[in-house]
Structure 1
Amino acid sequence: MDIIQAIVLAIVQGLTEFLPISSSAHLLLVPVFTAWDDQGLAFDVAVHLGSLAAVILYFRREIADMWSAWWRSVIERRIQDPDAKLAWAVILGTIPVCVVALLIKDLVADAFRSPVVVAFGLIVFGILLGWADWRKHGQRTEYQMRARDVAVIAFAQALALIPGTSRSGITITAALFMGLNREAAARFSFLLSIPVIALAGAFETRGMIVEGVGVDWLAVTIGTVLSGLSAYLCIHYFLAFIKRIGMQPFVAYRIALGILLLVLFW
């Protein structure tokens, strides 16, 4: 892998991991406009590690509070602290996507990788995001979620296994429908990404070890650093952006990208 390829792919992954625009769609477009070979498992692990480091660093104070409150709730066997409730929401909200991934991983790996499926995922779930954002805006924060809210968002996250859906996009959509405000919906989506990215990275690392994949350390280093930096900046500016403007620019972008994929691949 050359340096330019590593830089481009790292930045694309770092940005699209958290923006509601689907990383799978953008990674499909890369080989259309370049002659690059597949980046390989080691690089995939590196960019996921960078994204994971970015979200943990950005929410480090919240995570520290959630961890201590969660631990107290386990010891005291009661959940009263809002930070403990949020920590449990992240844990329980991760279970459905893990179960579904185990059940249909082969289908996701093969049948769902069609560019046409990705295109329709972009358009359909983009319109759904727009509808959720057009509705009356909720006022509740992520600390005010109810069990029903967490369940709906958790099962919505499982739909992100369909390429083109966007994990952040579908979880933000569900949170908006359940009455969270825009910033709260995005923050909870980002917190939910932590166990998902960690588990996906662990799974890819296991595959890399089993296959005995070689490591291009220069590309891996570039991928980790740039994906982490771009992901951190993405989180920061996305939260500020949606507070003023909302989700509509991302909806328009998703629909345009979906149409482009249909033109290219259908």
Structure 2
Amino acid sequence: METFQIIFLALIQGVTEFLPISSSAHLILPNQVLGWPDQGLAFDVAVHFGSLIAVLVYFRKDVWHLIVDGLGGFKTGNFSDEGRLAWLIVLATIPAGLAGLAFKDFIETHLRSSAVIAATTIVFGALLWWADVRGERKHDLGKLNWKKALMIGAAQAIALIPGTSRSGITMTAGLMLGMKREAAARFSFLMSIPVIALSALLLTLELLETGSVPWGSIFSGVVLSGISAYLCIHFFLQFISRIGMAPFAIYRFLLGGALIWLLLAN
């Protein structure tokens, strides 16, 4: 890839990983629509690690308390709110992990197309908007129980389909279950940590088997995606209660419509 393409894709990955607009779609489309070369496995590893570092740094205090209280609950027999939340995150991760193992090859072979992305972008954008408008938006994370966590985790598994958006579908599920926007977004971001970590690990193992590592592209991808992801998380949490999900749904409609137009034009 050229330098401009590396910078563009790394920044796009960092921003779209945590916005409800689908990072996978924005990484696939330049290749299919603009004719850019495929960024390759090494670059995918880099931008995933960049996003992971960003969310770990931003939520470093939360992550520390989740680990300490989650493990400490076994010793005392009593779980604090943070300890309970830690195990709810683990529970919510299971459906995506199982779905990834079962359907990864099928999805990569049959669903990484502009037509699929156009459909999922519009459909799940409409669902996000509907959930934001119709949801009660009254519960904080303290009201989250294992049933709701498992339902949000099941929604996260659907995000394996390109164009769905992992953050978008999990926030949609949270809003449908009556969570406040900030609570739904926070749980979505914390849920992303084990999922991104597992994804990055699997990609790394695949990369090591290839024996070819473009270190320059990897370094650039990690740094740029990490910075853009950190800023995205910060500003999203700052403004989500005021702006709502409508701007992201509208963007998804425009993107999906543009893809359909391009498909029909060709």
Q: CA deviation at 1:111?
A: 1.2
The answer to whether the 8 A contact 1:2-1:219 is kept is no
- In the alignment, the residues of structure 2 paired with residue 31 and residue 159 of structure 1 have an alpha-carbon distance, to the nearest angstrom, of 23
The answer to whether the 8 A contact 1:21-1:166 is kept is yes
- In the alignment, the residues of structure 2 paired with residue 97 and residue 152 of structure 1 have an alpha-carbon distance, to the nearest angstrom, of 11
Matched, 1:15 2:15: yes
- In the alignment, the residues of structure 2 paired with residue 28 and residue 103 of structure 1 have an alpha-carbon distance, to the nearest angstrom, of 22
Give 1:74's aligned residue.
Answer: 74
The answer to whether the 8 A contact 2:43-2:218 is kept is yes
Code of the aligned partner of 1:230: S
- In the alignment, the residues of structure 1 paired with residue 15 and residue 258 of structure 2 have an alpha-carbon distance, to the nearest angstrom, of 20
What is the CA deviation profile of residues 175-227 of structure 1, one whole-angstrom value per residue up to 9, with x for unaligned ones?
00111100000000000000000000011111111122x22222211111010
Higher mean alpha-carbon deviation, 157-166 vs 22-31, is at 22-31
* Secondary structure at 1:175 match in 2: helix
What is the CA deviation profile of residues 144-200 of structure 1, one whole-angstrom value per residue up to 9, with x for unaligned ones?
201221011010101001111100000000000111100000000000000000000
- In the alignment, the residues of structure 1 paired with residue 108 and residue 28 of structure 2 have an alpha-carbon distance, to the nearest angstrom, of 14
- In the alignment, the residues of structure 2 paired with residue 136 and residue 175 of structure 1 have an alpha-carbon distance, to the nearest angstrom, of 9
Aligned pairs, number:
264
The answer to whether the 8 A contact 2:135-2:175 is kept is no
- In the alignment, the residues of structure 2 paired with residue 127 and residue 33 of structure 1 have an alpha-carbon distance, to the nearest angstrom, of 24
- In the alignment, the residues of structure 2 paired with residue 170 and residue 35 of structure 1 have an alpha-carbon distance, to the nearest angstrom, of 29
Q: CA deviation at 1:136?
A: 4.3
Give 1:28's aligned residue.
Answer: 28
The answer to whether the 8 A contact 2:28-2:112 is kept is no
| TM-score of the superposed pair, with normalisation by structure 2 | 0.95
Give 1:56's aligned residue.
Answer: 56
Aligned residues: CA RMSD: 1.3
Give 1:242's aligned residue.
Answer: 240
- In the alignment, the residues of structure 2 paired with residue 265 and residue 207 of structure 1 have an alpha-carbon distance, to the nearest angstrom, of 32
Unaligned runs of 5+ in 2: none
Q: CA deviation at 1:74?
A: 2.3
Code of the aligned partner of 1:45: V
- In the alignment, the residues of structure 2 paired with residue 92 and residue 242 of structure 1 have an alpha-carbon distance, to the nearest angstrom, of 26
- In the alignment, the residues of structure 1 paired with residue 183 and residue 221 of structure 2 have an alpha-carbon distance, to the nearest angstrom, of 29
Q: CA deviation at 1:260?
A: 1.0
Give 2:102's aligned residue.
Answer: 103
Moved >6 Å (runs of 4+): none
- In the alignment, the residues of structure 2 paired with residue 99 and residue 108 of structure 1 have an alpha-carbon distance, to the nearest angstrom, of 14
* Secondary structure at 1:110 match in 2: helix
* Secondary structure at 2:159 match in 1: helix
Unaligned runs of 5+ in 1: none
Give 1:168's aligned residue.
Answer: 167
